[in-house]
Structure 1
């Protein structure tokens, strides 16, 4: 059986990390994981599922001592494929896989925004390092056509890019009234409150401050944000300034957002810098109406595939958001868009790439070929 090693920067709560854990449950192959940093909660979840997780112990972005350790893990494992996820893992992982002589090296680009990647600015140095190491691999998987276009703008050749969207397990988010009641009780949210919800890392590009401003214009409404990050203190401060601190709940990060989605009445996604929009799909799978700005997963689809996902322009302010969020509430049917991205189908696409069942975007160079400098 084809042996695959997934290399990822870390396994704390995050979109790429959760996506990897989900993929591993559906890939019909012999998979293991290497995390450059430590396993974290998602890593422990993966281990409980029976997948080995190797911790490389990297101490920082420039900890070059991690490279030979990763080369040893790859070489000792005799993997047929190394699949990297997230910027640092792509840089180190492609070099290590090449040194270890891995036949097929794939990278998935999860988080390439317009002017940033995983929260860091895309300086010329960042782009140059990305391009140099990208050439060491066989192909780069983009999670949406939007990301594929950004990769091409960075100088990655079109014939080296293939699109395999993120996947979702719709049944995991099915609405359950008991879960709604329990979650609201745990978070101190009244059972009859109108709850605006959001999920994501607390960073400026998510524009969660706009939601605080919008909810401040909605008497009695609550705002529930699931996620953590550097913007947490600023959001707390803004909620106090707008006198809605008692109506804003920052619930922190979690590996299971389904209970929080059950507690919401409408889902908000004001980010203008999305690479896929997995949170929107999860909300739709939970039967929530959605108000959003950028969502590459939905943008190319016909309106009838997600009729309850209303789009507001990037320039829309708090008044427009409060008006739209206030008029949308209650459960809606799960739309066809959700089932377009079923995880089993996306995992099958990756499995075919690993085993040669689909044309590859590029060809792996022979292991004996020297690495360009």
Structure 2
């Protein structure tokens, strides 16, 4: 059995934060009780504490403040020593800087294009996309001490939402985009593509600094009546049960977790060739890939899926098979425990 301590100092919302909650909750399930004993330290957050408590996770809440917060490293070190872990897994930069060295392995979990300086003195890194492995080794991190392990997503079916509640007609093709309203996500390109897909409506679930600009662009393009900005949502499964096509037009996307979400929930996927989707998707087999910034090409792929039911069905079947063989909870948790068990001192 491996004794695993995990540290998370992230924000309330975010991709890494969501997967952290999924992974520690999964490891707390009885099926893994003979393989791992874990404890977790999180930045104080009532919602996240509630999630962990409901999952039966043993956890502590600490301040995880800025550079002047010297109390958190002291308290964290004391809690870690009391637990006596084999491995401490630190999620993202702030948690890494607050995690003290000790008689255990320190492993950093990398979910973005981070600066390697935050992981000085760490023993190993785990990246959730091959491109992030290249990013960290490009900063001098030793290749033999860096490992690729993907995320998993949940496949439990949600409850379809009533489209009329969102001023969306029944029977129209509904495109679903999930992610922060940031330039990297290229929702401006998606809106330009939507203008060339007159049959479709679009829901964008996310919040961020580009919201006003995107709403203005939707007005300018004449598609505002077919777009709904839903804000940040926690009912992802319900959204996926309601949509018809999962779209990921990102300029920059290290992993493309939403692609896996689409596969797990039976939606055909249309994405841009940013790093994550390009690694995940086999074009014309598990999804359709357009060039980055290519609104015309993206629109052509959307129109193809909408007009060809056989194509859509084939993409859904192949995507679901990909999820079941590579990205299910059972497979990814097992890979995590096997890797960490093989690394421990």
| Same fold at TM > 0.5 | yes
Check if 1:258 corresponds to 2:237.
yes
Q: 2:175 aligns with which of 190, 196, 204?
A: 196
Aligned partner of 1:104 in structure 2 is: 105
Task: Give, in angstroms, the shift of residue 295 of structure 1.
Answer: 5.9
Structure 2: where are the runs of 5+ without partners? none
Distance change (3 Å), C-alpha of 1:245 and 1:218: same
Number of residues of Structure 1 aligned to a counterpart in Structure 2: 329
- Give the C-alpha shift of residue 61 in structure 1: 5.8
SS at match of 1:325: helix
- Per the alignment, residue 140 of structure 2 pairs with 155
Ranges in structure 1 where 5+ consecutive residues have no aligned partner: 118-126, 365-373
SS of the equivalent of 1:165 reads coil
TM-score (norm 2): 0.85
Cα distance change of structure 1 residues 154 and 43 upon mapping to structure 2, 3 Å threshold: farther
Aligned match of 2:74 in 68, 71, 75? 68
Bigger RCO (CA 8 Å, 6+ sep): 1
The SS at the match of 1:328 is helix
Could you say if the C-alpha distance between residues 160 and 277 of structure 1 is closer, same or farther in structure 2, counting changes exceeding 3 Å? same
Aligned residue for 1:79, secondary structure, equals coil
Relative distance call for 1:343 and 1:353 in structure 2 (3 A) is same
Q: Is residue 26 of structure 2 the alignment partner of residue 47 of structure 1?
A: no
2:125 corresponds to which residue?
Answer: 140
1:89 to 64, 88, 95: 95
Aligned equivalent of 1:307, options 276, 280, 285: 285
- TM-score normalised per structure 1: 0.79
Secondary structure at 1:209 match in 2: helix
Q: CA RMSD in A?
A: 2.6
Could you tell me which residue of structure 1 aligns to residue 329 of structure 2?
Answer: 343
| SS of structure 1 residue aligned to 2:107 | strand
> What is the aligned counterpart of 2:300 among 323, 335, 349?
323
1:153 Cα deviation from its structure 2 partner: 0.6
Which structure has more helix as a fraction of its residues? 2
Whole-Å Cα distance in 1 between the matches of residues 69 and 210 of structure 2?
A: 27
Partner of 2:273, secondary structure, is: coil
Contact 1:148 1:161 in 2 (8 A): yes
Give the whole-Å Cα distance in 1 for the aligned partners of 2:275 and 2:234.
23
The CA distance in 2 between the partners of 1:199 and 1:260, in whole Å, is: 9
User: Alpha-carbon deviation of 1:35?
Assistant: 1.8
Any conservation in 1 of the 2:193–2:298 contact (CA below 8 Å)? yes
Give the superposition deviation at 1:102.
4.0
Runs of 4+ in 1 over 6 A off after TM superposition: none
